[in-house]
Structure 1
Amino acid sequence: MKQLQITSMKQFMNHLLVADTFEPFLLEEAVIGTACTYRIDGHVNQEFYSGDEDDKEKDIYEFRPWGQLKGLCFDLIKGRRTPLFFRFVLHLMPHKAAALLEKENCDVPPDQVKALVLNIRYDGAKATLTTGTALRTFHLSKMPDAIWDKALGRYLDGKGIAYEELD
């Protein structure tokens, strides 16, 4: 687990809510505090889909892609006033997580890693990103955590997102 503090909020918010920077992620949950608190559960409601073969969204992921919900989040956040807080729980898309772990020769099989998680928290003044790894069963290895921590740092650096590591 690694914590990173964003050093340029304006730049980061553009990456988060406007650019396609976080398109490789799924949204598990969003909580946004403005005039009231909005909660978005990113779980896909399978019952919503009719079962038609045209429903390509059905059964693809457990959560909705960030790209499909970021506009809604943007609409809730934008305005004259800064939000009081927000929290997003994102998961790297499963096929991308598996590819990353395989590429790095992880000692935990990719099918045992449920999710590579990115928590984004804004407290009204600063944003903090925290990595996490959800495993399907207990493993002593910390290799998936280390791989995810390094990969996220490289990804943010590649996108030009300014941050500093917290202890």
Structure 2
Amino acid sequence: MKALKITETKNFMGILLKSDCFEDFLLAEASITTYNTFTIDGHIVPAFYKGDVNVPDEEASYQFSCWKDLQELCFQFIRGKRTPVRFHFTLYLKPDKIKALFASERFNKEHDALPEELDQLVLNIKYQEGSLTLITAVSYHSFVMDKSAERLWDQYMIQFLESKKIFFDSE
């Protein structure tokens, strides 16, 4: 788990809310406090789509909504002349991207396959009192002693942010 303090908040917010930079993520939950607190539960309700043949197969297989599908809504809650009091987004890396990450050479040097206990690769984005922090985390189905998945996820996110010119300080 790493805490990364974003040094250029305005730049990051533009990337988060107006670009496709985070399209490989699902939104588990969001809480945005401006004049009210707006909460989004990212769980998909399958009954809503029952019988709809126009839902892409990729999205129909997810438990959570794609970030890109709720990005504009979050932007609408945040935009304006005043800065939000606070917000918190919990993003999960898409399952196919998790498999690709663990199939990469970086991981295979130490291990054979994706750990069965692994549930989610998590990115928490928190803004409060003028400070914006990203926190990486790994969710498991059960307790594990091996922390190699966490190290890989931390390294991946640092490289991801650097490649997108998102500047940060490690806390």
Q: TM-score range by the shorter chain?
A: over 0.9
How is 1:79-90 mapped onto 2 (pairs within 5 angstroms)? 79-90=80-91
Paired residues of 1:113 and 1:136 also in contact (CA < 8 A): yes
Partner of 2:32: 32
1:113 aligns with 2:114: no
CA distance in 2: counterparts of 1:83 and 1:138, whole angstroms: 37
Amino acid at match of 1:93: K
Normalised to the residue count of structure 1, the TM-score between the two structures is 0.94
**Hey, what does 2:101 align to over in structure 1?**
100
- Aligned-pair identity in percent equals 40
Aligned residue number for residue 145 of structure 2: 140
Q: Measure how far apart 1:110 and its partner are.
A: 4.2
Unpaired runs of 5+ residues, structure 1, are: none
Aligned length: 166
SS at structure 2 position matched to 1:82: coil
Distance 1:45 1:4 in 2: 33
Asked whether the equivalents of residues 98 and 110 of structure 1 are also in contact (C-alpha less than 8 Å), the reply is no
In structure 2, the gaps of 5 or more residues are: none
Which residue in 2 is equivalent to 1:20?
A: 20
RMSD: 1.5
Distance of 1:95 and 1:112 partners within structure 2: 16
Q: Does the CA-based 8 Å contact 1:102-1:110 persist in structure 2?
A: no
Identify the residue that residue 168 of structure 2 maps to in structure 1: 163
Asked if the contact 1:25–1:92 (Cα under 8 Å) also holds between the matched residues in 2, the reply is: yes
Write the letter of the residue equivalent to 2:170. Answer: E
* In structure 1, distance between residues paired with 2:140 and 2:76: 34
Inter-partner Cα distance in structure 1 for 2:52 and 2:69: 21
Counterparts of 1:138 and 1:4 in 2: how far apart (Å)? 25
- The alignment's TM-score, normalised by the length of structure 2, stands at 0.92
Match of 2:70 in 1: 69
Deviation sequence 1:69-94 (CA, Å, 0-9, x none): 01000000001110000000000111
After superposing the two structures, state which structure 1 stretch, 125-134 or 52-61, moved more: 52-61
Q: Which amino acid in 1 is paired with 2:54?
A: D
Deviation track 1:101-152 (CA, whole Å, cap 9, x = no partner) reads: 1212263634431110000000030100000001122221000000000000
Q: Which runs of 4+ in 1 moved over 6 A?
A: none
